[in-house]
């Protein structure tokens, strides 16, 4: 079955005596930089969100690792994180427009771990490549044209199509090749792909930019006729992004993700997390059940009326997917974290089917953050990692994020089992500083698990 290792000392430098630190940096706009180069400019909300969450890599670290930030988190916030049992890394402040060299000059480094290897992280960390002693990686191996292609939704669609074409029979619970998505590079091709999907009985269609940022860059074609504004959007996107992916809109039942790590020894499974996105496909929350390292979320498995051994069949399918993905990763010398987004949906003829690969993200994801957070929880606990936005703030009756954090602390106080250095049994913890948050507050909530309880928490208690 699927290989699974809890990622403790594998994905970063373990903190043995005298071992140099790994260096982490939050760069969530990798796809934007790949699509538009240095001309990419995040929206105000995107920039605020990135600033709010720039410390998140601290939950991927081990003690004494380094996180690069524009400003170090406040001592009060860090003391609350430490009290919850999480080790604190070292924070190094980045000068605006500078590189990592200024803050890391003369230091031996164990590894480099940006959120994503892309043009921006390559430029920032390039000056310290020669200081890395804990891993033997050339600059070309860290980021290259082959690796850049992995970010495209078109690449993921092609991967899925090959999987479906080459798979064994008897998998009626899987989507068909017609649901895999078609890559197009011209307006004529896009219109033709839409027409072909509708001719097969799928009236609702979604058109995605192959390189989109955080659930953005998608057009929903639900009306009988394609409007002129929608044609212009496709034409402009093709001019800027060079490629679109056209696929039928499917009625989702449950989303989830598979977190993996590509190492020198092969591709390893880190765990399965449930996923909650908004109507635009943007992340809102994810959840992990106690069996997350080795089994899919209960809501996903329970969505299938049959066959009786569906849980085992699903795991067998992902064993096959990971084997194929390892081959693809080796071909471009990719190392590091990756996440596979997937969902189950209601088929037009009735019943439920699985779309096992929606996107493959060759980088850290929020699901991976949750996997790492779960290491600090008790064995039979469920966890939910959600983002509370300004609307959620107002719905809770809080004047600001600091006030929301106080409400959380009062309603869900942290309970650690095993003394001050124990693991979290229950409660909520803010993962970025409420005092400085502008757009979003990341919250980790832990509780005892019953079937589907974590999913309910993600949908009702944070959103």
What are 221's two structure tokens? 């074609």
384: helix, strand or coil: strand
Residue 451: predicted pLDDT: 43
Residue 352: predicted pLDDT: 94
Residue 216: predicted pLDDT: 66
Residue 166: predicted pLDDT: 75
For residues 218 and 228, give the distance between their C-alpha atoms in angstroms, rounded to a whole number.
16
383 strand-pairing partners? 288, 446
Terminal Cα-to-Cα distance of the chain (whole angstroms): 35
Residue 6: predicted pLDDT: 34
Residue 10: predicted pLDDT: 33
Q: What size, in residues, is the chain?
A: 463
For residues 166 and 328, give the distance between their C-alpha atoms in angstroms, rounded to a whole number.
15
Task: Going from the first residue of the chain to its last (463 residues), give the mean pLDDT of each consecutive group of 10, the final group possibly shorter.
Answer: 41 50 96 89 92 97 94 95 95 84 90 96 94 91 95 96 84 93 96 96 94 79 95 93 92 96 97 87 88 95 91 96 98 97 91 96 97 95 94 93 96 88 93 96 87 44 41
- Identify the CATH assignment for 176-248 out of 3.30.70, 2.60.40, 1.10.1200, 3.30.1490: 3.30.1490
9: helix, strand or coil: coil
Q: Where are the chain's structural domains?
A: 22-145, 176-248
394 Cβ partners below 8 Å, 6+ apart? none
64: helix, strand or coil: coil
What are 383's two structure tokens? 């966890």
Handedness of CA 221, 224, 230, 235 (dihedral sign): positive
Please report which residue ranges of 116-177 form alpha helices under DSSP H.
Answer: 119-125, 139-142, 145-149, 153-166
For residues 294 and 272, give the distance between their C-alpha atoms in angstroms, rounded to a whole number.
7
- Nearest CA to 166 out of 318, 319, 320 is that of 320
Pairing of strands 336-346, 415-417: unpaired
Residue 450: predicted pLDDT: 56
What are 318's two structure tokens? 């992902």
Handedness of CA 210, 211, 213, 217 (dihedral sign): negative
């Amino acid at each position: 079955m699927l290989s699974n290792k809890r990622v403790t000392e594998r994905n970063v430098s373990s903190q043995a005596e005298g071992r140099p630190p790994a260096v982490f940096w939050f760069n969530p706009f990798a796809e934007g930089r790949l699509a538009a180069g240095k001309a990419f400019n995040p929206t105000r909300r995107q920039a605020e969100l990135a600033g709010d969450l720039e410390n998140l890599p601290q939950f991927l670290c081990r003690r004494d690792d380094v996180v690069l930030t524009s400003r170090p988190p406040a001592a009060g916030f860090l003391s609350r994180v430490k009290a919850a049992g999480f080790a604190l890394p070292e924070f190094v402040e980045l000068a605006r427009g500078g590189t990592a060299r200024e803050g890391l000059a003369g230091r031996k480094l164990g590894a480099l771990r940006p959120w994503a290897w892309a043009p921006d992280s390559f430029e920032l960390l390039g000056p310290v490549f020669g200081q890395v002693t804990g891993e033997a990686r050339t600059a070309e191996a860290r980021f290259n044209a082959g690796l850049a292609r992995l970010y495209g939704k078109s690449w993921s669609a092609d991967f899925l199509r090959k999987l479906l074409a080459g798979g064994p029979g008897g998998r009626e619970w899987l989507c068909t090749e017609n649901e895999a998505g078609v890559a197009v590079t011209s307006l004529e091709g896009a219109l033709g792909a839409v027409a072909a999907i509708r001719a097969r009985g799928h009236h609702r269609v979604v058109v995605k930019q192959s390189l989109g940022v955080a659930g953005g860059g998608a057009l929903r074609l639900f009306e009988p006729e394609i409007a002129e504004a929608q044609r212009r959007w496709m034409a402009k996107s093709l001019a800027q992004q060079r490629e679109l992916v056209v696929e039928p809109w499917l009625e989702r039942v449950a989303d989830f993700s598979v977190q993996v790590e590509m190492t020198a020894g092969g591709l390893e499974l880190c765990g399965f997390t449930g996923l909650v996105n908004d109507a635009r496909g943007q992340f809102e929350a994810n959840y992990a059940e106690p069996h997350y390292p080795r089994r899919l979320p209960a809501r996903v498995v329970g969505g299938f009326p049959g066959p009786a051994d569906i849980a085992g069949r699903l795991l067998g399918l992902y064993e096959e997917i990971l084997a194929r993905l390892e081959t693809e990763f080796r071909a471009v010398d990719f190392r590091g974290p990756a996440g596979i987004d997937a969902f189950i949906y209601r088929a037009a003829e009735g019943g439920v089917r699985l779309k096992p690969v929606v996107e493959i993200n060759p980088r850290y994801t929020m699901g991976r953050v949750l996997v790492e957070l779960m290491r600090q929880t008790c064995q039979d606990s469920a966890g939910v990692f959600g983002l509370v936005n300004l609307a959620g703030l107002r719905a809770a009756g809080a004047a600001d994020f600091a006030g929301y954090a106080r409400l959380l602390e009062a309603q869900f106080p942290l309970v650690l089992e095993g003394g001050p250095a124990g693991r979290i049994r229950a409660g909520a913890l803010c993962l970025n500083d409420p005092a400085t948050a502008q757009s979003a507050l990341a919250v980790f909530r832990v509780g005892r698990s019953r079937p589907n309880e974590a999913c309910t928490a993600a949908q009702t208690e944070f959103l």
